[in-house]
Copies of this chain bind each other. A is one copy, B any other.
């Protein structure tokens, strides 16, 4: 998606340790006009899929998912990162290893919000090693719901998450795929 690549080139920064900083528009400060365009693009790409719910994970996926959900006219469910006293005991759970925070955490979704009748689109901001998306897919499979696809804003094409998902037959639509980046020069190579 050309608009997203333009945002990344203009406002992103490549840091040591394979970190792509896009916190001025994607995951700390959030440009909701861009999110609306991303939502339209996913709606175009998944136009034939009978999606009735979007699933994401807190925190940085939530804003993108909610704006995109308006294009689909469906509700969003976000997986929570820790047990809360406001969650009923009946939850689906999976473990996720965070690249950013370098730790493992539990993600949970109330069983009331995922059923065998649901057709789910997963939305998230980043795909690197794929751990967050795999955790969400585990939860969807446990619930008996149908995974229709995965929509990612930025895929790090030099990490294996996207490749492994495509090999499994998951319908994956990443709006920008970064195949290489160089912290010394700030250079970025996109897959087209």
Q: Which residues of A contact B (CB under 8 A)?
A: 17, 19, 21, 23-25, 27-33, 35-36, 58-59, 62-63, 65-67, 69-70, 73, 75-78, 80-82, 84-87, 100-102, 109-110, 112-113
- Chain B residue nearest to A109 (CB atoms) is B28
Chain B residues, CB < 8 A from A109: 28
- Do the beta carbons of B19 and A77 come within 8 Å of each other? no
Known A32-B66, A84-B101, A85-B101; 4 more pairs at CB < 8 Å: A23-B86, A59-B81, A85-B100, A85-B102
Q: Are B19 and A75 in contact, CB atoms less than 8 angstroms apart?
A: no
Cα of A29 to Cα of B85 in the assembled complex, Å: 16
One complex includes copies of this chain to the number of 2
Instruction: Decide: A84 and B63 in contact? CB cutoff 8 A.
Output: no
Specify which chain B residues have a CB less than 8 angstroms from the CB of A17 in the assembled complex: 85
| A82 CB contacts on chain B under 8 angstroms | 101
Closest residue of chain B to A62 (Cβ to Cβ) is B62
* Cross-chain contact of A66 among B23, B66, B100, B102 (Cβ < 8 A): B66
Query: In the complex the two chains form, is B28's CB within 8 Å of A75's CB?
Result: no
CA distance A58 to B57 in the complex (A): 12
Q: Can you list 22 A-B pairs, Cβ within 8 angstroms, ordered by A? A: A17-B85, A19-B86, A21-B86, A24-B112, A28-B77, A28-B109, A29-B112, A30-B76, A30-B78, A32-B75, A33-B70, A35-B66, A58-B59, A59-B59, A59-B62, A63-B65, A63-B66, A63-B78, A66-B66, A67-B67, A84-B100, A84-B101
Query: With A and B bound together, what is the CA distance between A171 and B25 in angstroms?
Result: 28
Contact check, A87 vs B23: say whether CB atoms are below 8 A apart. Answer: yes
Residues of B within 8 A of A86 (CB): 19, 21, 23, 27, 100
